[in-house]
Amino acid sequence: MIDSSLKDIAAALRAKRVSAVELATESLARIEAGNGRINAFVTTCRDSALQAAAEADARIAAGTAGPLTGIPLAHKDVFCTEGVLTTCGSKMLSNFVSPYDAHVVTLLKQAGAVMVGKTNMDEFAMGSSNENSHFGPTRNPWNLDCVPGGSSGGSAAAIAARMVPIATGTDTGGSVRQPASFCGVTGIKPTYGTVSRYGMIAYASSLDQGGAFARSAEDCALLLSAMTGHDPRDSTSLEREAEDYSRDLAKPLAGLRIGLPKEFFADGMDDDVRASVEAALAEYRKLGATTVEVSLPNARLAIPAYYVIAPAEASSNLSRFDGVRYGHRAAEYTDLNDMYCKSRAQGFGAEVKRRILVGTYVLSHGYYDAYYIKAQKLRRLIANDFAAAFQQCDVIAGPTAPTTAFGIGAKTDDPVQMYLGDIYTVAVNLAGLPGLSHPAGFGKGGLPVGLQLIGNYFGEARLLGVAHQFQQATDWHARAPQA
Amino acid sequence: MSRTDWEVVIGLEVHSQLNTQSKIFSGASIAFGAEPNVQACAVDIALPGVLPVLNKGAVERAIRFGLAVGATVSPKSIFARKNYFYPDLPKGYQISQYELPVVQGGHLDLLVPDGKGGHYEKRVNLTRAHLEEDAGKSLHEDFHGMTGIDLNRAGTPLLEIVSEPDMRSSAEAVAYAKALHALVRWIDICDGNMQEGSFRCDANVSVRPRGQAEFGTRREIKNLNSFRFLQQAIDYEIQWQIDLIEDGGKVQQATVLFDPDTGETRAMRSKEDAHDYRYFPDPDLLPLVIGADWIDRVKGEMPELPAALSARFQGEYGLSAYDATTLTASRETAQFYVDAVASAGAASAKTCANWVMGDLAARLNKAELDITASPVSATQLAGLVARIADNTISNAIAKRVFEALWNKEGESADAIIEAQGLKQVTDTGAIEAIIDEVLAANQKSVEEFRAGKEKAFNALVGQCMKASKGKANPAQVNELLKKKLG
């Protein structure tokens, strides 16, 4: 049953053809069966899931259920969950049981979704492959020797492996869209400020944004609708009412102007990715959309700008992990400074250390203007490019990533090569725009290819509608990896 | 040997704790004295995932301060992170304001004692005032070689008020600190409790040969929490720097601590180990935007400022600048005085001032009472002053009546004068009768006076006053006695 659309599951629940407890049990059984191979979950929560499912069944019986009531859900382990281990993929927090729920977690609890577990991720959301997890890499359900993408690779893999129908993620530079692309699922990162960051462990505060994974855009719309709305505990939360992101699903594509940034279609994209993306664009034209070339001249500067701003913020955000109040503390140390050094040296992995060092460097006296201020200026230029492009089109489309999923270990020795994989996604975060990735076909070795749609600010509903129309006409999103 | 004439240069940074209900970025209480760590919420202990939300009350107080010192309230200011590791700094950074503070400029006018019983006027310019959060406390005692951390204070709102290096002596620094202390209490943004750390001073001190344009190298004395320590620390530091330079040494920039037990300052850290705080705008907080409407509203709610009231006291009541400043040292004192004058009449304003600053202040001080808890009310004091003004009692008797009011021996000065028969005797016949008695009983003094000893006259006056139990009008006694003897 959990392979069905949320709409069908909800109908079955209301019709008593299935219970929430049965759905949770089914989901937990799939996790138990598959997690040994895929390692999508760091934690499963059988007892609390079954209890939440029973409560959901009571709500359904009482007629007070919403569209997500009784639906099994996984949270990326970056979200704080009360009474449940919240590791952020790090040894530093491998013992941290959060005493409170993230805002997103609270909202989805209120919606009646049933959390079955916490998904694996790159440590502190830093990475594009899920190889940077203290709990071992997550494997791509389409090919267990390949990465699922990252940093929300566990959530994407859990959806692809049909362990849960919906999952949360976070996207700082592509961490929802790129794993969605690699795992052949749909993922959306809304406009910055749409999803509250309260309780979402910070990587780069000005870029971090919660997002939604599902198999289809239609299901993403239902999940995202339950995750948003103003939260006074997050000063960057936009003062907007929660929206119904399903409202544009039925909107036809006729007249839709799709902008194609020429910079995204230049060299750098693998041929198999290009072929699938071109085919998907042809499908869009068939559905009534027109395509127009646009230009994002500063997009090539997005990677360097991102890898100054994100590490700068991270170096400060991660200072709280000092071994004093919670988290990992070295067993032996000689004095306070030694405790800091050892606890952090032991608690953080290599990529996290690399970004803390880079961030500390770019904020240092004498370098701040040359790096941090300069990067902020680039950020403005990049946002201006998008604003100009949206004068000519309604949505922007292109590849989500230049390649399909790569082999585990293939890029671990070359961080810059790994960073360049984010070339199409990071500019969206720098501008704060919404972005979505949906399955667009398969490339070499039968690995999924994702198409990225970028919307103007608050264009989530339209993006989801566009993707939904595509998914009505195609079945890429419905394909499942071989068990 | 020719001695250099040294000029002292002092600038003050004052951390003033804002009297909000809750912390600057969280909803936890800031009440003083709670058990360790009970007033530290998830935000204050910096759990993973928590975020700061700015307390508008803290901003409002900063605006009030800006208006009170004639500063610019920035339409847009920025919160920045000051990064450093310390166990009582839970996030590993302090949220403060760096490049764009909420209050820019401003000044404070003060009266400085000139050491000869008088006062001179001094204007101290302010550089800025910015909002920031306080850190927690590290407790090094009672933990057997370990350090305890109390995060109750973490996140307490502070307004850091930075002066220009405008002060030229410890007396000026203390006068400035006192005026600032009075002002923050006056505009009700800080309780001013120095023992509890609500008002802490850092003093930047340097010396230079008089006439030299450049400043000398400064040392910063941290965390002075009384005016006495401020004065002692600066005086010690000045002498230390002068001695060092005159002995051929050079002052190194450093942060120093004052030890009240020894009265000495000692270096805590030198410039070489200064932190690189890696300031950058806090991405968790939007720029603080303060519109003209907000400033106008705060302006409308401001009390009359001490400087304005002091000017009014000088203009309307003819008080000296010093008296007017003293009476406007606190809102409570000023209110008491205003109430007393309202009741006694403007003609008695000067007498009221003398009583409030003199006997009442001394008596309150002795009893360690605040003027709001004065056993003698403003109306009662006014009643007393009125009886002095209309000659019902002499000044000497007035002190007795005041003491009786203090001890609640009667409801009013009139009641006490009546009940205790303290009314001044002005009846010429009655006074003459007393004089006759005294002259008869003190023939020796009379002879002495006649022999030219002026002192004998005073002795006779004293005897007359004593015989009248102090009630005889002293002027009349003088006059009548002279007549009788002359």
Sign of CA dihedral A282, A284, A287, A292: negative
Task: Mention every residue, 6+ apart, whose C-beta is less than 8 A from residue B314.
Answer: B320, B321, B324
Residue A319 to residue B47, Cβ atoms within 8 A: no
Residues B311 and B278 placed together within one structural domain of the fold: no
Which residue numbers of A are catalytic?
76, 151, 175
Domain termination residue (choose one: B245, B271, B295): B295
Is the Cβ pair A322, B92 closer than 8 Å? yes
The answer to whether position B289 is within a domain reads yes
Please check whether residue B409 lies inside any domain of the structure: yes
> Is B47 in contact with A99 (Cβ distance < 8 A)?
yes
Q: Among partner residues B49, B149, B279, which is closest to A324 by beta-carbon distance?
A: B149
Q: Which residue of A has its CA nearest to B45?
A: A325
**DSSP-derived secondary structure for A173-207:** SSTTHHHHHHHT-EEEE-STTSS--TTB--SSTTT
* Distance between CA atoms of residues A226 and A245, nearest Å: 9
The mean pLDDT of chain A is 97
* Contact between B49 and A198 using a beta-carbon 8 Å cutoff: yes
DSSP A346-375: HHS-HHHHHHHHHHHHHHSTTTHIIIIIHH
Query: Does residue B432 fall inside a structural domain?
Result: yes
Q: Do residues A248 and A461 lie in contact, with contact meaning Cβ atoms separated by under 8 Å?
A: yes
Same domain as B90, residue B195: yes
* A359 → chain B, closest CA residue: B278
Q: Which residues in chain A are closer than 8 Å to B46, comparing Cβ atoms? A: 320, 325
Residue B227 has pLDDT above 90, yes or no: yes
Torsion over CA: B417, B418, B422, B428 (sign): positive
Residue B17 counted as domain residue: yes
* Structure token digits, residue B142: 């009672």
Residue of A nearest to B279 (CA): A363
pLDDT value of position B451: 84
* Residue B260 counted as domain residue: yes
Whether residue A79 and residue B284 make contact (CB cut-off 8 A), yes or no, is: no
Domains of chain A, each with CATH number or no CATH: 1-483 (3.90.1300.10)
Residues B390 and B462 in one domain: no
| Residue finishing a domain among B374, B392, B419 | B419
CATH number of the structural domain spanning residue B475 = 1.10.10.410
> Which H or E run contains B58?
helix B56-68
- CA dist A170 and A209 (Å) reads 5
Of A325-339, B364-378, B381-395, least confident by mean pLDDT is: B381-395
Tell me: do B207 and B267 sit in the same domain: yes
Strand B219-224 to strand B254-259: parallel, antiparallel, or no bridges (unpaired)?
parallel
| One domain for residues B383 and B435 | no
Query: Is residue B283 domain-shared with residue B314, that is, in the same domain?
Result: no
User: What residues make up the domain containing B398?
Assistant: 304-419
B475 & B410 share domain = no
Q: Which residues of A touch B (CB under 8 A)?
A: 79-80, 86, 88, 93, 96, 98-100, 102, 197-202, 204-206, 232-236, 312-313, 315-316, 318-322, 324-326, 336, 340, 360, 363-365, 368, 372
Band (pLDDT 50/70/90 cuts) for residue B273 is low
- The helix/strand/coil state of B239 is helix
Q: CB–CB of A320 and B90 under 8 A?
A: yes
- A320 DSSP 8-state letter: G
Residue B375 has pLDDT above 60, yes or no: yes
Closest of B135, B68, B136, B55 to residue B106, by C-alpha: B68
- pLDDT of B449 reads 85
Residue at which a domain ends, from B262, B295, B328: B295
Q: What is the spatial distance between Cα A54 and Cα A40, in angstroms, rounded to a whole number?
A: 25
Yes or no: say if B17 and B158 are a contact pair by the CB < 8 Å rule: yes
Cα nearest neighbour of A319 on chain B = B92
d(CA B41, CA B59): 21
Evaluate whether A441 touches A475 at the Cβ level (below 8 Å): no
B441 and B473 within one domain? yes
Position B185, amino acid = R
Judged by CB atoms closer than 8 Å, whether chains meet at B280 and A365 is answered as no
Chain A residues in contact with B79 (beta carbon < 8 A): none
* Chain A residues with beta carbon closer than 8 angstroms to that of B91: 319-320
**Residue A474: its pLDDT value, please?**
98
In chain B, the residue whose alpha carbon lies closest to the alpha carbon of A364 is: B278
Distance from CA of A263 to the nearest CA of B (A): 30
8 A C-beta contact, residue B107 and residue B119: no
Q: What is the DSSP letter of A123?
A: G
Instruction: Give the separation between CA B346 and CA B3, rounded to whole angstroms.
Output: 54
| Cβ atoms within 10 Å, residue B485 | 14
d(CA B282, nearest CA chain A) in Å: 9
Q: What is the mean pLDDT of residues B37-58?
A: 97
d(CA A182, CA A199): 27
Residue contact B276–A365, C-beta within 8 A: yes
Higher pLDDT, B295 or B465: B295
Q: Please indicate, yes or no, if residue B389 is contained in any of the structural domains.
A: yes
Residue of B470 and A213 predicted with greater confidence:
A213
For B114, the token pair is 């000139």
- If asked whether residues B212 and B328 sit together in one domain, one would say no
Quote the number of domains for chain B. 3
Residue B1 domain-assigned (yes or no): no
Query: Which two tokens mark A337?
Result: 């400074």
Q: Model confidence at B1, in pLDDT bands (50, 70, 90)?
A: very low
- Torsion-angle region of residue A471: left (phi > 0), alpha (psi -120 to 50) or beta? alpha
Q: Is residue B259 domain-shared with residue B336, that is, in the same domain?
A: no
Q: Which of B42, B51, B83 has its CB closest to that of A100?
A: B42
- Residue of higher predicted confidence among A142 and A413: A142
Let me know whether B41 and B95 are in one domain.
Answer: yes
> Residues B65, B129: one domain?
yes
